[in-house]
Chains A and B, each alone.
Chain A
Amino acid sequence: MSKETPLLPERDTREAALFFVVCALCFLAALAALSARATYDAAASWTAEVQGQVTVRLIDADRRGADEARDLVAAVEGVKQARILSSEEIETLLAPSFGAGGLPAGLPLPLIVAVETEPGQRRLAPDLQRRLTEAGIEARVDAHETWAGDVRRALGVVRLVALSTVALLGATAVAVIAFATHAALLARRDIVEVLHLSGASDRFISRLFERRFWVLGLKAGAVGALFSLAAAALAMSMASSSSSRTGLLPRLSLDPVDLLILIATPIIAALAARIAARVTVIRSLKGPL
């Protein structure tokens, strides 16, 4: 038995243009989603790194005073580990400020106790500060909260922008498809009328368009996702080969969640196309075309 010819003609140059537009929108949306996710990951990683760490900078203290301060801090409940940073470690920390030539000779280095806290100890810094003061040790306790808060806020804004971009691109795709569906409906009004007069229900006719745009969305979304995969792979390759410090930048990873985003892109595009087509056709059929 031969395969039935689709009731809507298969070839349409307008659909080629629509395919390109949806493909480009899916590419941008997938890339924006990947960036949003990378930013989210980076934020989580930086925050996790900063949280759980407290720095105690000792003022006017010698090595003995530092040992005393370290022992006092280590004995506080909620402290996992406390150790005095070596001169080399402090020089490494300060190196970005002094460049390749290293620290000037004779520059006094501060004594710093690095404290690792147990998880969830977010109120430990004031307690340490109080205990050190009571013990007569002059020190500044820093829980990096101000810096971490700034980073979180900045990343929140970046994430919001990325998610808004995804939403805007999605809405644009739906609007474009709705417009294209209406144009297709007008262009095929003769077919729609014959189908109607042959007893086809609105639902039957809308399903024809839904199927058409579902397939178009799926194909265009898949191509767009493939392009964004290629773009992400290129960005990763460039980042890994770069010698510059990119630790603070969101890094694309292409882990399972990223791959899920890429797989979901054509499905979401197809669903959006289908729903847009359905709503447009049903609305158009109820009014004058």
Chain B
Amino acid sequence: MSIGNPDMILDFAVRLDGISLRYDSSEEILSGVDLELKPGSFTCLTGPSGAGKTSLLKLLYLALEPSRGEVSLFGRRTHDLSRSALSLLRRRIGVVFQEFRLLDHLTAYENAALPLRVAGQRESDYRSDVEELLRWVGLGGRLDAPPQQLSGGEQQRVAIARALVNKPDLLIADEPTGNVDPDMSERLMRLFIELNRRLGTTVMIATHDLTLIRKIEAPVLRLQHGLLVRDVEFGSDVA
């Protein structure tokens, strides 16, 4: 299945120019990374553990600032933006964290609805949409369950619902299918693809799942030791 939406006007959704990242005085996690994601593109990011995939994604969802270089999102250099402008920019990004990061004291429904609540929307306006989304990811009967009562796969699906709930312009997912069975995994990937095609959402997924990458036929970026060493057209080239 070939994917990507060619009808976007912006030159790029994401651009990284000469990005380097190090924590304190440690070695560089990322070194001189240049990357451009076209609006409406669908990209996979792969590489061995410790290669810097999660760090690269953190830069994209504005949880980290680079030690060197420049991050631009939707045509805006993030370094120049105020904290409140960054908050507004984050609302255009949906993130599926590797470790889910659900809030334990909220129900599945409330976790999924969090970005809408933060954006100040009224519950009466979004309740049915959130419930429908949770039903779609197979959690229709678990709306009121707190995360502790959900399995790993169910928690991951809540995290995915939370990332998708405000129809983001950029969706970033860190191993989104790591805890779900193959059926659900394929279903979720179809959802990501559908979002990408229908809404023009730019999608970047970090995954180890080479089978999945081959099925998607999306451009693949490969990170190794902090360097973007491979930028290939399709997953079939990744092995």
Shortest Cβ distance from B92 into A: residue:
A199
Chain A residues 148-171 with CB under 8 Å of chain B are none
Note all chain B residues with C-beta closer than 8 A to A195: 114, 118
Inter-subunit contact B124/A199 (CB<8 Å): no
B110 within 8 A of A: yes
- 1/0 contact trace for A202-213 toward B, CB 8 Å? 111000000000
CA distance A4 to B114 in the complex (A): 11
CA distance A198 to B83 in the complex (A): 14
A201 within 8 A of B: yes
Inter-subunit contact A197/B63 (CB<8 Å): yes
Most buried by B among A4, A195, A198, A204: A198
Inter-subunit contact B84/A5 (CB<8 Å): no
CA distance A286 to B83 in the complex (A): 9
Inter-subunit contact A204/B103 (CB<8 Å): no
Inter-subunit contact B110/A194 (CB<8 Å): no
- 1/0 contact trace for B59-77 toward A, CB 8 Å? 0011100000000000000
Q: How far is the CB of A169 from chain B (nearest CB, A)?
A: 34
A255 within 8 A of B: no
Inter-subunit contact A4/B115 (CB<8 Å): no
Contact size range, A: 20 to 34
B90 within 8 A of A: yes
Q: How far is the CB of A30 from chain B (nearest CB, A)?
A: 34
A9 within 8 A of B: yes
**Looking at the complex, which one of B107, B114, B123, B127 makes contact with A194 (CB distance below 8 Å)?**
B114
Chain B residues 161-203 with CB under 8 Å of chain A are 162
Chain B residues 60-106 with CB under 8 Å of chain A are 61-63, 83-84, 87-88, 90-91, 95, 101, 103-106
Inter-subunit contact B83/A194 (CB<8 Å): no
Inter-subunit contact B118/A190 (CB<8 Å): no
Inter-subunit contact B106/A5 (CB<8 Å): yes
Inter-subunit contact B101/A202 (CB<8 Å): no
B119 within 8 A of A: yes
CA distance A191 to B114 in the complex (A): 11
B117 within 8 A of A: yes
A196 within 8 A of B: yes
Shortest Cβ distance from B124 into A: residue:
A1
Inter-subunit contact B117/A201 (CB<8 Å): no
Query: Helix, strand, loop or mixed for chain A's interface?
Result: helix
Q: How far is the CB of B140 from chain A (nearest CB, A)?
A: 17
Given the contacts A1-B124, A4-B123, A5-B110, A198 and B103 also touching, CB distance less than 8 Å: no
Note all chain B residues with C-beta closer than 8 A to A5: 105-107, 110
Inter-subunit contact B83/A202 (CB<8 Å): yes
Shortest Cβ distance from B58 into A: residue:
A197
CA distance A194 to B106 in the complex (A): 13
A89 within 8 A of B: no
Shortest Cβ distance from A6 into B: residue:
B105
Shortest Cβ distance from B165 into A: residue:
A198
Note all chain A residues with C-beta closer than 8 A to B87: 196, 199-202, 204
Given the contacts A5-B106, A193-B63, A194-B101, A201 and B84 also touching, CB distance less than 8 Å: yes
Most buried by B among A199, A204, A285, A286: A199
Note all chain B residues with C-beta closer than 8 A to A200: 87, 118
Note all chain A residues with C-beta closer than 8 A to B127: 1
- Provide 16 A-B residue pairs closer than 8 Å at the C-beta atoms, listed in order of the A residue: A4-B117, A4-B123, A5-B106, A5-B107, A7-B106, A7-B117, A9-B104, A9-B105, A195-B114, A196-B87, A197-B95, A198-B90, A199-B87, A199-B88, A199-B90, A200-B87
- Counting from the closest, the 3 A-B pairs by CB-CB distance are A199-B91, A201-B87, A9-B105
B contact residues vs A (CB 8 Å cutoff): 61-63, 83-84, 87-88, 90-91, 95, 101, 103-107, 110, 114-115, 117-119, 123-124, 127, 162
Task: Given contact pairs A1-B124, A203-B84, enumerate 18 new A-B contacts (beta carbons under 8 Å).
Answer: A1-B127, A4-B110, A5-B110, A9-B105, A191-B103, A193-B63, A193-B101, A195-B118, A196-B87, A197-B61, A197-B63, A197-B95, A198-B91, A198-B162, A199-B119, A201-B87, A202-B83, A204-B87
